[in-house]
A and B are shown apart, each in its own frame.
Chain A
Amino acid sequence: MADVFSSAPSVQAGQAPETAWRFPWGPVSWLVWVVASLLGIYGVWIRFTQGHLPFGYGSYVPWGLWVALYFHGVGIGGGAFVCGAVGYLLGAKGFRTPSTLRTTIVLSAAAILPAFMAVWFDLGHMDRAHRIFTSPAFTSMMAFNAWMYAGYLAVAAICWALSFLENPNHLKPLLCLGLLLAIMFPSQSGAFFGVVDARTFWHSALLPMLFLASALTAGAATLLATRSIFDADRCGDETVVAEQRLRGVVIVGLLVYFVFEFAEFSIALWNPYSHRPAVDLILFGPYWWVFWIVHLLLGGLIPLALFSSARPAAWTWAAILVAVAFVSARLNVLVPGQAIGEIEGLQEAFQHPRLKYLYDATLMEYLLGFFLLAVGMAVFYVGQRIGAAVIAASRQTT
Chain B
Amino acid sequence: MSMSRREWIEGAALVGVGVAAAGAMVAKDRFGGTPPDPKGPDTVRPLAVPIPARADEDPLLRMQRDLVRAMQKTAEERRWCMIIDTRKCVGCHACTIGCVAENKLPPGVVYRPVVTEERGEFPRVAIDFLPRPCMQCEKPPCVPVCPVKATWRRADGITVIDYDKCIGCRYCLTACPYGARTSDFGEYYVDAQAMDADSALPVLGPSALWEHAPSHEYGKHWNRRGHQSPMGNARKCHFCLHRLEVGQLPMCVTTCIGRATYFGDASDPNSLVAELVAQNNTQVLLPHKGTHPRVRYIF
Contact = CB atoms under 8 A, between A and B. Distances in A.
Contact of B178 (A128, A144, A342, A350): A342
Contacts of B221: none
Contact of A349 (B7, B116, B171, B286): B116
What interface size band does chain B fall in? Answer: 35 or more
B11 A172 contact: yes
Given A124-B183, A139-B30, A350-B110, A132 B148 contact: yes
B201 to A, nearest CB: 18
Interface string B147-158: 111000000000
Given A177-B15, A355-B108, A346 B132 contact: yes
Given A131-B148, A343-B115, A346-B113, A59 B181 contact: yes
Chain B interface, DSSP helix/strand/loop, else mixed: loop
Contact of A142 (B10, B26, B145): B145
A354 B145 contact: no
B117 A344 contact: yes
Given A139-B144, A198-B177, A341-B179, A125 B10 contact: no
A124 B149 CA distance: 16
Interface stretch (A50-58, A304-312, A323-331, A366-374): A50-58
Contact of B185 (A52, A123, A146, A348): A52
B26 A139 contact: yes
A136 interface: yes
Contacts of B98: none
A138 B32 CA distance: 11
Contacts of B30: 138-139
B3 A144 contact: no
A143 interface: yes
A354 B185 contact: yes
Interface residues of A, number: 66
B132 A140 contact: no
Q: Interface centre among A60, A174, A181, A350, by most B CB within 10 Å?
A: A350
A71 to B, nearest CB: 13
Contacts of B117: 344-345
B7 A172 contact: yes
A197 B233 CA distance: 22
Interface in A136-168: 136-144, 146-148, 151
Given A143-B148, A146-B147, A180-B18, A138 B108 contact: no
Contacts of A314: none
A125 B233 contact: yes
Contacts of A138: 25-26, 28-30
Interface string B111-123: 0011111000000
B171 A177 contact: no
B25 to A, nearest CB: 4
Interface string A172-194: 11111100110010000000000
A59 B148 contact: no
B153 to A, nearest CB: 13
A316 B130 CA distance: 56
Contacts of B3: 89, 172
A342 B175 CA distance: 11
Nearest to B19: A180
Interface in B170-198: 170-171, 173-179, 181-187
Given A128-B167, A352-B108, A198 B14 contact: no
Given A125-B168, A343-B115, A96 B1 contact: yes
A170 B141 contact: no
B107 interface: yes
A397 interface: no
A338 B174 CA distance: 7
Contacts of A349: 110, 113-116, 132
B177 A197 contact: yes
B281 interface: no
Contacts of B165: 128, 131, 135
A128 B150 CA distance: 12
Contact of B174 (A173, A196, A353): A196
Given A137-B149, A345-B130, A354-B183, 8 more contacts: A58-B185, A62-B170, A125-B232, A142-B145, A173-B10, A196-B141, A196-B175, A343-B132
Interface of A: 51-53, 58-60, 62-63, 88-91, 96, 119, 122-125, 128-129, 131-132, 135-144, 146-148, 151, 170, 172-177, 180-181, 184, 195-199, 337-338, 341-346, 348-350, 352-355
17 contacts: A59-B109, A60-B179, A124-B233, A125-B233, A128-B166, A132-B148, A139-B30, A140-B171, A141-B145, A143-B147, A146-B147, A170-B10, A173-B13, A342-B177, A344-B117, A354-B108, A354-B183
